[in-house]
Chain A
Amino acid sequence: MYKLNESKMFADVTNNVAIIINSETGIYYALNSCGSVVFQAILDGCSTQSIADNLKKIENCPSDVDQKLKAFIDDLLQKEIIVEGEQTSKIPNFDEVVVKQDNFEMKVLEYADAQEMLLADPIHDVDEKEGWQPVFKEEKDNNDK
Chain B
Amino acid sequence: MINNNPLISVMMPTYNNAGYISQAVESVYAQKYDNIEIVVVDDGSTDNTKEVLKKYKGIKYFYIEHKGISFARNIALEKSKGEYIAFCDSDDYWLPGKINTQIQYFKEHPDCEIVFTKYENLFEDEKLKTNKRAMHEKLMEKFLKQYLPSSIIKKELFEKYGNFDENFSGVEDTEFLYRIKRKGANIDHVISDIFYIRRIHGNNVTLNYNKDTIKYITAILRKGVLNK
Please give me the residue from chain A that is nearest to B147 by CB atom.
Answer: A133
What string of 1s and 0s marks CB contacts (under 8 Å) between A1-30 and chain B? Answer: 000000000111011010101010000101
Please give me the residue from chain A that is nearest to B116 by CB atom.
Answer: A133
**B194 touching A131, Cβ below 8 Å:** yes
Q: Chain B's nearest CB lies how many Å from the CB of A108? A: 12
- Of the listed stretches A65-73, A75-83, A117-125, name the one at the interface; the rest are far from the partner chain: A117-125
**A128 touching B121, Cβ below 8 Å:** yes
- For residue B191, CB closer than 8 A to chain A, the reply is yes
Please give me the residue from chain B that is nearest to A133 by CB atom.
Answer: B118
What string of 1s and 0s marks CB contacts (under 8 Å) between A103-124 and chain B? Answer: 0000001010110111111111
Which residue of A12, A109, A128, A136 is within 8 Å of B190 (Cβ)? Answer: A136
Q: Which residues of B contact A19 (CB under 8 A)?
A: 218, 221-222, 225
Are A131 and B222 CB-contacts (below 8 A) given A117-B177, A139-B192?
no
**B215 touching A12, Cβ below 8 Å:** yes
- For residue A129, CB closer than 8 A to chain B, the reply is yes
**A133 touching B121, Cβ below 8 Å:** no
Q: Which residues of B contact A124 (CB under 8 A)?
A: 129, 133, 138
**A28 touching B188, Cβ below 8 Å:** no
Q: Give the A interface residue count (CB, 8 A).
A: 35
Name, among B118, B194, B215, the residue most crowded by chain A CB atoms within 10 Å (CB to CB): B118
Chain B: number of interface residues, binned into ranges:
35 or more
Q: Which residues of A contact B191 (CB under 8 A)?
A: 136
- For residue B14, CB closer than 8 A to chain A, the reply is no
**Complex Cα gap A113–B178 (Å):** 9
**Complex Cα gap A128–B119 (Å):** 10
Q: Which residues of A contact B26 (CB under 8 A)?
A: none
**B215 touching A133, Cβ below 8 Å:** no
**A131 touching B142, Cβ below 8 Å:** no
Which residue of B144, B192, B214 is within 8 Å of A12 (Cβ)? Answer: B214
Please give me the residue from chain A that is nearest to B120 by CB atom.
Answer: A131
**Complex Cα gap A28–B119 (Å):** 27
- For residue B219, CB closer than 8 A to chain A, the reply is yes
**A130 touching B118, Cβ below 8 Å:** yes
- For residue B2, CB closer than 8 A to chain A, the reply is no
Are A17 and B121 CB-contacts (below 8 A) given A117-B178, A139-B192?
no
Please give me the residue from chain A that is nearest to B136 by CB atom.
Answer: A10
Which residue of A12, A119, A133 is within 8 Å of B142 (Cβ)? Answer: A119
**A136 touching B192, Cβ below 8 Å:** yes
Ranked nearest first, the 7 interchain pairs of A and B with the lowest CB-CB distance are A120-B145, A19-B218, A12-B218, A133-B118, A30-B225, A122-B138, A136-B190
